[in-house]
Structure 1
Amino acid sequence: MHVAVLGGGYAGLLVTRKLEERLPPEDEVVLVDETGDHLVQHELHRAVRYPDIVEDISLPLTDLTERATVREATVTAVDTDGRTVELDDGTLDYDACVVALGSQTADHGIPGVEEHATPLKRLEHAARLRRKFLDVVETGGGTVAVAGAGLSGVQTAGEFAALAEQEGVRDAVEVVLVEQADTVAPSFPENFRAETRDALEAYGVRIETGTTITEVREDDVVTEGGSFRYDMLAWTGGVRGPDALDGIRRDVRADLRLADRTFVVGDAARIVDADGERVPASAQAAVRASPTVATNVARVLEAARNDKPVEHLEKWAFETPGWLISVGDDAVAQLGPQVLRGSAANVVKSSVGLTYLAEHGSLRNALRVLREELGDGRVIPEP
């Protein structure tokens, strides 16, 4: 049997590792990724301030898998009826497939976004944002704008504010966070939103909520209530599906099945779980759904081997212990009903990052990332 896993992000990597454990050795698992590296996405914003962190958050997929074949290619289309994947370098047939291609930044059809704004989805985006920020500093300062105040936007604004402080230009660089909703982190509980706003304001970030952007020009952002000038613009205003799925985040139920032998997981999907709840697009959800996908792939392949229908597919319900967000060197963590801020939240967030990297990368990478996050000269021994 031939299994294709499309995408080497959180969901794709973890599904692949589970399939390596569960499928018989004669089954072939091919992991397709356009870079061949696994990006620890929840640490990407750190690369704006600490460019050296890149080597520790971008890990070769060949080092993270056991027997899967890693194929470096771009997925251009998925034919679920014909069970084929179109790649930029050929075609891949499959008996079962997992689409884990993640999401793209959505511009919502707003004129000028693609031409004038920079998203934060890839390493090159982080490098570009850092260069643009330092250009603003070199020309005497100005306005650094971030559009979208979800988790990514909050963390990006926090990094800019911390970098301004680090460069000694806090008074010369104004960081503005713009959000269409009436609050930052609008998808989260009220106490989490309040602490997040306080953390941003403590860094001097100007928050403009209830502000709808209608156009982006070379030097100014047009909103329904007027316009404001900017010197650089980061765009984190929502997500859309991957190009291989026509830019659509596909709707799936709790078994995560897109078609007969095709599953979708992670940000590429809009999931309604076993409790009937809409699952947020997040790394946490992608990680937690992966075991269910691997189980269901194994079941459809076993049924196919025996020429029988699938009797039962596992259904997934999203349960979260809480949420974490960085705001520069500060952090906000929600654990159950309790919201932590500052050093306590930083301990929680660093622990999550350490655990992930130690499990899926290496302890050396994890300690290097922690050293960057501490940022205070503390010596942490290499393993």
Structure 2
Amino acid sequence: MTTRVVVLGAGYAGAGAVSKLEDELGSDAELVWVSETDYHLVLHEAHRIIRDPGVREKVTIPVEDIKSRSTEFVHDSVVDIDTDERVVELDESDAIDYDYLVVGIGSETATYGIDGMGEHPLTLKSLDDALEIHEQVREAAREATREDRAQIVVGGAGLSGIQSAGEIAEFRDRHNAPIDVTLVEALPEIFPPGDSEIQGALRHRLENAGVDILTDDPITAATEDSLEFDERDSIDYDVFLWTGGVTGPSELGEVDLDAEHNRLQAESTLQTEDERVFAIGDCSMVSQGDDEVAPPTAQAAWQAADVAAENVVRASQGRPLQTWTYEDQGTLVSIGETAIAHEVEMNGISAPVRTFNSLPAKVLKKGAAARWIAKITDWKRAMKAWDAL
């Protein structure tokens, strides 16, 4: 009897799981890949499009260039998952039955209940988002003058916010545009997951790039042209990009599985409470013991995808499942044309310096993206993308 495995999503989790499953599944299995986009976006490099939309061809990969000919691809949006009937309901296509399901449909940007945050800001979760940010920044720069400069505000100073602010500053410098760039963070310091060493290095690099940094005061409301804060005076903006945190996709809100903020709860085997449903990537909260969960990062999704694929095969064969523990291999952050590296490991070997920048960090940052592209396609495509990374 043929076993049907269905993978949802074309992000890091979905694309990684499909690539691994194609290697591991036997000839008696059927693999179906479902995604609302017919391409994979190298999301942690999507900020490059803010400066130059021409790089989109290098950081988007058609699914046809990832999957094998035997894998069926369905270009559609997930509406619901019926775990009792083992059916995935789609927006326009017929429902799809499954024997095993891998859910990797990413996340949405959290608004934290802030008034107006769901209506007014731009977000960066897709190719269209990145292109829209570029267009709005370019338009604001075109309408601004030296006496009345465009105000571009990035809310949330995590990885995405920092890299986006750096790209906007690079756009300003390359086009000599009358733009002021401000990065806003509610917590006392930027890059909250990091320690003081990388926080200081990132702050120094951002300030050298001409990015104003406002910390330790949360946004309490957003209107169509201004932001209000808990303590400081409100500030006006021409373009506002919000990158603060993640929540699960709305389509998982009604699924009959344990979830928190629409993110499916999963054990360290990547298995949800339903033994035939596995959850990976930003849409999941994977237990790491001691009430800890894996971080919603590209690095975690890459790692989890391989283990989930292996465990789907093991489950279908009645074998014990592997457990997964997230391995932090360091932090790589780009700020325009430069980068910061912190506590980086390569093949289990730590870099001799904890935090460094300039060309070595930039090469490592490019290398990480290139390795991922090569993993799901080949090194020829990865090298073609090198200049854009």
TM-score, normalised by the number of residues in structure 1? 0.91
Q: Output the aligned Cα RMSD.
A: 1.6
For residues 14-25 of structure 1, the aligned pairs below 5 Å read 14-25=16-27
Residue aligning to 1:195? 201
> Contact 1:57–1:365 (CA<8 Å) still a contact in 2?
no
Q: Distance in 2 between matches of 1:17 and 1:372?
A: 24
> Contact 2:19–2:376 (CA<8 Å) still a contact in 1?
no
> Which residue, out of 320, 330, 334, partners 2:328?
320
The reply on whether 1:232 has 2:239 as its aligned counterpart is yes
TM-superposition CA deviations, 1:129-184 (whole Å, max 9, x none):
11111111111232100011110000011101111111112xx3111111111111
Residue aligning to 2:167? 159
Larger deviation, residues 243-252 vs 5-14:
243-252
Q: Distance in 1 between matches of 2:202 and 2:106?
A: 26
Q: Distance in 2 between matches of 1:221 and 1:370?
A: 38
> Which residue, out of 54, 57, 67, partners 1:55?
57
The reply on whether 1:269 has 2:284 as its aligned counterpart is yes
Instruction: Calculate percent identity across the aligned residue pairs.
Output: 35
- The residue type equivalent to 1:244 in the other structure is E
> Contact 1:32–1:70 (CA<8 Å) still a contact in 2?
yes
- The residue type equivalent to 1:292 in the other structure is V
> Contact 1:273–1:315 (CA<8 Å) still a contact in 2?
no
Residue aligning to 1:40? 42
Residue aligning to 1:357? 373
- The residue type equivalent to 2:302 in the other structure is V
TM-score, normalised by the number of residues in structure 2? 0.90
For residues 190-269 of structure 1, the aligned pairs below 5 Å read 190-225=196-231, 226-246=233-253, 248-258=262-272, 259-269=274-284
Cα displacement (A) at 1:363: 4.2
The reply on whether 1:177 has 2:196 as its aligned counterpart is no
Residue aligning to 1:31? 33
Q: Give secondary structure in 1 for the equivalent of 2:234.
A: strand
Q: Distance in 2 between matches of 1:364 and 1:55?
A: 14
The reply on whether 1:133 has 2:133 as its aligned counterpart is no
Return closer, same or farther for 1:55/1:355 CA change in 2, 3 Å cut-off: same
Q: Distance in 1 between matches of 2:133 and 2:11?
A: 22
Q: Distance in 2 between matches of 1:161 and 1:129?
A: 13
- The residue type equivalent to 2:125 in the other structure is K
Q: Distance in 2 between matches of 1:50 and 1:80?
A: 43
> Contact 1:354–1:367 (CA<8 Å) still a contact in 2?
yes
Larger deviation, residues 134-143 vs 26-35:
134-143
Cα displacement (A) at 1:368: 4.0
> Contact 2:20–2:309 (CA<8 Å) still a contact in 1?
yes
The reply on whether 1:10 has 2:12 as its aligned counterpart is yes
Q: Distance in 1 between matches of 2:197 and 2:115?
A: 35
> Contact 2:152–2:182 (CA<8 Å) still a contact in 1?
yes
Aligned residues: 364
Q: Give the unaligned 5+ runs of structure 1.
A: 304-310, 374-383
> Contact 1:272–1:279 (CA<8 Å) still a contact in 2?
yes
Residue aligning to 1:84? 87
Residue aligning to 2:347? none
- The residue type equivalent to 1:251 in the other structure is Q
Q: Give the unaligned 5+ runs of structure 2.
A: 254-260, 345-349
Larger deviation, residues 69-78 vs 337-346:
337-346
Cα displacement (A) at 1:277: 3.8
Residue aligning to 1:292? 307
Larger deviation, residues 275-284 vs 91-100:
275-284
Residue aligning to 1:307? none
Q: Distance in 1 between matches of 2:207 and 2:368?
A: 25
- The residue type equivalent to 2:81 in the other structure is V
Cα displacement (A) at 1:364: 4.9
- The residue type equivalent to 1:301 in the other structure is S
Residue aligning to 2:121? 117
TM-superposition CA deviations, 1:337-360 (whole Å, max 9, x none):
711112221011111122222332
